[in-house]
């Protein structure tokens, strides 16, 4: 069996076993995004003239490699940090939802129909990048569950030592790694789309 086929099988199993967690965190992200969009609507009205160029819709965004490296570094930190009761996994997901929702309202104040144009801008790369962000949080939660279950199993009288405990709980660790790798693949797809496609796509659809 080839590595790609093995990885695909492990990925399908991991996504299936953690389906509820994936859906739950995706729903959490959407709720936070929508809530932030409403809550920041009034606050962004007080923002003064801010130049969009350099880091925004239609601006001179970072190149694809820079975007990819930045997002992967953030994802790895979230994943590793989630050994602390999965707190970073949830906090980062909520932070991203708030940040994107607030940014949409900022554009809404700066250009006509800015929020709609911002959403159109997000669609091409956001399908991959937002999904990757959610999966990074899922991977972090599953990593924490592995540690929790490993310790619990290790302390159980029904388990014979560390190696036995690891054998009984390693599936969670493997699934967390597989999901994390898949999120990186999604970021690899998202980066060039964000750098070179999203802005022209939004301009083509709605114009700026």
Q: Could you tell me the mean pLDDT of each successive run of 10 residues in the chain, 208 residues long?
A: 90 98 98 93 60 40 81 96 96 96 87 85 95 98 97 87 92 98 97 90 75
Which pLDDT belongs to residue 16?
98
Which pLDDT belongs to residue 51?
43
* Distances from the Cα of 204 to the Cα of 75, 91, 141, angstroms: 31, 35, 39
Residue 8 sits at the vertex; the CA angle it makes with 4 and 12, to the nearest 5 degrees, is 175
3-state SS assignment for residue 1: coil
pTM here is 0.88
The count of other CB atoms within 10 Å of the CB of residue 78 is 24
Which pLDDT belongs to residue 44?
65
Please name which of 187, 61, 201, 77 lies closest in space to residue 129, comparing C-alpha atoms.
Answer: 187
Residue 148 sits at the vertex; the CA angle it makes with 143 and 149, to the nearest 5 degrees, is 95
Residue 70 sits at the vertex; the CA angle it makes with 97 and 89, to the nearest 5 degrees, is 45
Which pLDDT belongs to residue 207?
59
Which pLDDT belongs to residue 205?
81
Please name which of 101, 198, 186 lies closest in space to residue 136, comparing C-alpha atoms.
Answer: 186
> Would you give the DSSP letter of residue 62?
P
- Residues whose CB is less than 8 angstroms from the CB of residue 57 and which lie 6 or more positions away in sequence, other chains included: 107, 117, 118, 121, 199, 202, 208
Torsions phi, psi of 110, nearest 5?
A: -95, -30
Give yes or no for a contact between 54 and 112, defined as CB atoms under 8 angstroms apart: no
* Distances from the Cα of 24 to the Cα of 18, 31, 138, angstroms: 10, 11, 10
Which pLDDT belongs to residue 128?
97
**Residue appearing with tokens 């980062």:** 92
Handedness of CA 112, 118, 119, 120 (dihedral sign): positive
């Amino acid at each position: 069996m080839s590595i790609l086929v093995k990885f695909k099988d492990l990925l399908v199993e991991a996504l299936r076993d953690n389906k509820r967690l994936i859906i739950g965190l995706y729903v959490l992200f959407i709720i936070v995004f929508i809530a932030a969009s409403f809550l920041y609507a009034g606050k962004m009205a007080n923002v003064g003239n801010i130049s969009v160029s350099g880091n925004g819709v239609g601006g001179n965004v970072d190149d694809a490699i820079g975007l990819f490296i930045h997002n992967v570094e953030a994802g790895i930190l979230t994943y590793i940090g989630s050994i602390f009761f999965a707190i970073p996994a949830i906090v980062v997901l909520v932070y991203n939802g708030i940040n994107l929702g607030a940014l949409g309202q900022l554009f809404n104040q700066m250009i006509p129909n800015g929020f709609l144009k911002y959403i159109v801008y997000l669609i091409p790369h956001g399908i991959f990048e937002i999904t990757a962000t959610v999966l990074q949080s899922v991977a972090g939660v599953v990593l924490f569950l592995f540690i929790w279950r490993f310790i619990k199993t290790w302390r159980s009288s029904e388990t014979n030592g560390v190696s036995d405990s690891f054998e009984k709980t390693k599936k969670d660790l493997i699934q967390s790694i597989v999901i994390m790798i898949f999120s990186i693949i999604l970021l690899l797809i998202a980066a060039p789309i964000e750098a070179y496609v999203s802005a022209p796509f939004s301009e083509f659809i709605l114009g700026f």
